[in-house]
Amino acid sequence: KAGVTQTPRYLIKTRGQQVTLSCSPISGHRSVSWYQQTPGQGLQFLFEYFSETQRNKGNFPGRFSGRQFSNSRSEMNVSTLELGDSALYLCASRLGDRDGYTFGSGTRLTVV
Amino acid sequence: GQQLNQSPQSMFIQEGEDVSMNCTSSSIFNTWLWYKQDPGEGPVLLIALYKAGELTSNGRLTAQFGITRKDSFLNISASIPSDVGIYFCAGRTQGAQKLVFGQGTRLTINP
């Protein structure tokens, strides 16, 4: 079955712009999480959604937001982009609370 | 943010050698996961551990959930070139919906 699909794979934006990233989880997975990966900070948790509800949020400013749709697909949005937002944004889905997370290939965001 | 202490940060070994890496935390975890990440890709789950003392194998990989619940170990036996990559440990506390990741161990293999 298809894995976690993230689009787009690469994105270049200018400071001050906003961006929307998309994630389609594995079919049947209702839990979707987002992580930011940078060389300096490593993998940092952004938020998790389950059945269209945000269950947990990481320590990121309010410029980072997300949502989940009824088909479990998720989007995350970053407004007023800063240079430091350049990172690999990873989406992960899982079947249940005891299961491991399956990650997508990520969206590489570059802010110039 | 909170991170696990993963060591070593990098390893340079000869093909065929065994590899060991570990993660420690000041917090108690009820789940430990080990991932491998190749350049330009997302992390791929290697082994999941759910019980203190649990020892689980996946081919040449073996991982253990420490008895104190504050550490985990990953061993790779008889390394091959495709083992090259960055290995991450990740932990989850009881009831939490997020993973805390280690800083990664970069494995390089000389043929």
pLDDT tens-digit series, residues B40-76? 899 999 999 999 999 999 999 999 999 999 999 999 9
Taking contacts as CB-CB distances below 8 angstroms, the residues of chain B near A33 are 97-99
Listed in sequence order, the residues at least 6 apart from B103 whose beta carbon sits closer than 8 Å to its beta carbon are A42, B3, B4, B5, B6, B9
Taking contacts as CB-CB distances below 8 angstroms, the residues of chain A near B41 are 105-106
For residue B42, give the chain A residue with the closest CA: A105
Which SS3 state, helix, strand or coil, does residue A85 take? helix
| pLDDT the model gives residue A70 | 96
Contact across the interface for B43 and A31, Cβ inside 8 Å: no
CA distance A106 to chain B (A): 6
Residue A17 tokens read as 């712009």
| Residues A22-75: tens digit of each pLDDT | 999 999 999 999 999 999 899 999 999 999 999 999 999 999 999 999 999 999
Q: Which of residues 27-66 of B touch A (CB under 8 A)?
A: 31, 33, 35, 40-45, 48, 50
Taking contacts as CB-CB distances below 8 angstroms, the residues of chain A near B90 are 43
Range B86-110 average pLDDT:
92
B40: left (phi over 0), alpha (psi -120 to 50) or beta: left
